[in-house]
Amino acid sequence: MGLFKKEPCVLCGGKTGLLDKKCYDGKVCKECAGKLSVWFDNYKGCDRSLLEAQIEIRKTDLEMAERMNFNKIFGDHGVILIDEEEKKFIAFPETNTKFFGSQRTVKSFDDVRDLGPDLISFSMVKDLKIDISETWNEEKHSVNGEQASYSPPRYIYFENFTVKMKIDHPFIKSIAVRLNNSAVSIHNVGRRLDPDAERAPVTGVGGAILGAVFGGAYDTAEIAHGFRCTPDNLHEIEKYEKYLRDAREIERIITGR
């Protein structure tokens, strides 16, 4: 029977469940855990007094955030809201609070107020990296009832953009914010070239035709970020560039690089 004895929450004295987090002094109920930072995971290294202090800091952060001007907002899955003048930001790994819910569109602090902000100063960021993870599959088609490669081969690439930071903060050590809600898929003829490849100029008759018919990128490039630009994948590459541009803008603002 002792194995299933329910412990009172160390913060409020309420009931705790089998899967609730355990700190140095005992268990923390779901309601009290919801008052702690979404980025906090060091329960075993904290006692009741440290958790209570975190809750008080977060109350102050909320009061301050309500008076701030988050003039830059990035992300469709996780989000980062930045006040450039105060040199502070808040971040969430996602805006969906339900298991099967959809992500919110965040246009102001009011859209995430209920999630509880942690104000992080630019100076607290000790390292920031842009991580672009990639997977790919070869596209095939049916020939005489069997799957066969195209000639030349075709591939579909799946890209995810995550901003990762190491933080010198009282109770947050690191954060990772994925900017895109679903993977950016890009169809490509042939294998992708060097991701850092510069745009290659389209020359000759091909360039003239593409420029006349499609305009825009086709006036100047046939390769972008290692992908071959075509009328079919241009919007996919533009989406890739949008998230890359956002990630670099976050890095520039926070680190000054």
Better-predicted residue by pLDDT, 257 or 252: 252
Strand partners, 33: none
Tell me the two tokens of residue 248: 């670099």
Q: pLDDT tens for residues 16-50?
A: 988 889 999 899 999 999 999 999 999 999 999 99
Domain layout of the chain by residue ranges: 8-63
- Sequence-distant (≥ 6) Cβ neighbours of residue 238 within 8 angstroms: none
What pLDDT is stored for residue 224 in this prediction?
A: 85
What pLDDT is stored for residue 194 in this prediction?
A: 82
User: CA 246, CA 73: separation in Å to the nearest integer?
Assistant: 9
Q: pLDDT tens for residues 191-239?
A: 998 877 655 555 544 444 445 555 444 444 588 889 998 889 999 999 9
pLDDT band, residue 96 (cuts 50/70/90): confident
The model's pTM: 0.85
Tell me the two tokens of residue 22: 């355990």
User: CA 230, CA 187: separation in Å to the nearest integer?
Assistant: 9
Residue 18: what residue type?
L
* Listed residue (152, 159, 113) closest to 136, CA to CA: 159
Mean pLDDT computed over every residue of the chain: 89
Q: What percent of the chain has pLDDT over 70?
A: 88
Long-range pairs for 251-256: beta carbons < 8 A, 24 or more residues apart: 251/128, 251/130, 251/163, 253/72, 253/82, 253/84, 253/122, 254/82, 254/89, 254/122, 254/125, 254/128, 254/165, 255/122, 255/125, 255/128
Query: Can you say whether residue 45 is alpha, beta or left, with left for phi > 0 and alpha for psi between -120 and 50 degrees?
Result: alpha
Tell me the two tokens of residue 241: 């560039």
Strand partners, 159: 134, 184
Q: Does the structure show a pLDDT above 50 at 78?
A: yes
pLDDT band, residue 5 (cuts 50/70/90): low
Task: Give the full edge-to-edge strand order of the sheet including 88-92.
Answer: 72-74, 79-83, 88-92, 120-121
What pLDDT is stored for residue 6 in this prediction?
A: 77
Q: pLDDT tens for residues 126-164?
A: 999 999 999 999 999 999 999 999 999 999 999 999 999
Least confident of 7-11, 175-179, 196-200, 253-257: 196-200
- Residue 109 is classified by DSSP as G
